[in-house]
A and B are shown apart, each in its own frame.
Chain A
Amino acid sequence: MQPEQAEQFAALWTAAQPTIAGFIRTLVPDYLQADEVLQRVAVTLVRKYDQYDPQRPFGAWAIGVAKYEVLYYRRERATDKHLFGDDIVEQIAGRYEVLAEDVDPIREALRHCLEQLKGRSKRVIDLRYRQGFKSQAIAEEMALSSGAVRMLLCRVRETLRRCIENCVGRDDRYTASG
């Protein structure tokens, strides 16, 4: 890879990485294993970068590559119990490829919607994501039961989804469901 290509790749990878990480973590829930797959994807993308067509969105191309890495990883660990079957993996990959084509409006909306969170909603998101706490630890911090924390997290995620829906338009394929 030429230095100029390496710079282009680094810029594209940096922008697409959260989307690819989201896809992989959906299918490989263990955090360390998901990071391992993410690195494999990065290696494969570096190797295959000369095959990338710049007319296509990089994220969608990268998700296509990531899908095969995830499937290969699952086959390597055939004895592990997998939550989703291969057909669901295909469906999720297909949706992610479409999502990856234009994530900027969703990302911007999410940033705005996070700023709108107040009180307990803001607190629970801070504890979950900034501090990396699980429900039990959040429950202790907020003097709630862990069941109430799980319900609160679910509600806040739904609030964020609706807020993003309002920001980017109701006809969006991912935000209109539910």
Chain B
Amino acid sequence: MDHVQQLISGFLDGELSDAQAEQLSAALEADGASVDQLVFQSYIHAQMLEWLGHQSLRRQATPGAYKLPSRAGRPRPGIRQAKSGFRPRMAVAAAVLIVAGVISLAYYLATRPTVVGQLTQATGPRWARSEPAISVGSLLEDGQDLALEQGTALITLVSGAQLWLEGPTSLRLVSPKEVHLHDGQIAAKVPTTARGFTVTSPLARFIDLGTEFTLKLEAEKSFELHVFEGLVELRLDERFGNSAQQPVRVAEVRALTFAVESGEVAVKQFEEGKQMPF
């Protein structure tokens, strides 16, 4: 293992001793390739923090924890300083409000949850306790859990993918191109722009390759997949051993079923009536 790689890895984890930090600094000054390595590794480190640490970081993020230090003392070229006592109070108040507004906007942009979609239709919906309450037109955020106890609902994601939910169904919106289905029945219609749209579940991961499909999941027991158009790639969870080694591609007008009991994917008779009315 390259010593510089080890130093960079330790640096990313904040676990370098002073002596090791000096070694890393010297290595960076001596060799541009080490700078490239550091830049690349620090980028993927930040990206993994963004993806994998998103939830825990958001929990920690409270407005009180972020305070900008005073910017007093910073040179402000081009702005002539008014003499004390001459500045009207209203102007000072307005300046304070503008700065506060800009800081609030920046804080909001830096920490706000990302909108991933919108509830665009619902028929006879009853949602499990949801905070905030959702109704047609509500914007939906990444990490948001939805539990539709009864009725149907249509969600349009920012990626262009549309999801029908048929209650009882519960899922989490992970990103504009990913949802995690806990339990229930959904249908997805995915335009080519959202190719790669993924439904994860406790049993398997379903990767859309430009298609329309329905998925009925009974948590920890079974699922049933109907593909109406295009192609879906199915990867069983690792715990299902050999069956999980190879992804299965399911073409249109095909249906598959899987039961934890058997541990095997089986072909099922395609039922056109399972198609949802997009």
Contact = CB atoms under 8 A, between A and B. Distances in A.
A178 B33 contact: yes
10 contacts: A9-B109, A18-B49, A25-B45, A46-B106, A91-B32, A95-B36, A96-B39, A130-B56, A177-B36, A177-B40
Interface string A140-176: 0000000000110111011011001000000001110
B106 A157 contact: no
A128 B14 CA distance: 12
Sort chain B's interface into a size bin: 35 or more
B1 interface: yes
B50 A21 contact: yes
Contacts of B56: 130-132
For the complex of A and B, 5 pairs with smallest distance between CB atoms: A22-B46, A42-B106, A154-B9, A129-B52, A174-B40
Interface of A: 6, 9-10, 13-14, 17-19, 21-23, 25-26, 29, 32, 35-36, 38-40, 42-43, 46-47, 72, 76, 83-85, 87-88, 91-92, 95-96, 99, 103, 106-107, 110-111, 114, 118, 125-126, 128-132, 134-135, 150-151, 153-155, 157-158, 160-161, 164, 173-175, 177-178
Interface string B64-106: 0111110000100000000000000000000000000011011
Given A39-B110, A154-B9, A46 B52 contact: no
A95 B68 contact: no
B106 A43 contact: yes
B109 A10 contact: yes
B43 interface: yes
B48 A84 contact: no
Main secondary structure, interface of B, reads helix
A160 B33 CA distance: 18
A19 B33 contact: no
A153 B45 contact: no
B13 A150 contact: yes
A85 B109 CA distance: 31
A36 B44 CA distance: 21
Main secondary structure, interface of A, reads helix
Interface stretch (B20-28, B128-136, B166-174, B263-271): B20-28
A111 B57 CA distance: 20
A95 B39 CA distance: 7
Q: Which of B32, B44, B52, B106 has the most CB of A within 10 A?
A: B44
A147 to B, nearest CB: 11
A125 B39 CA distance: 19
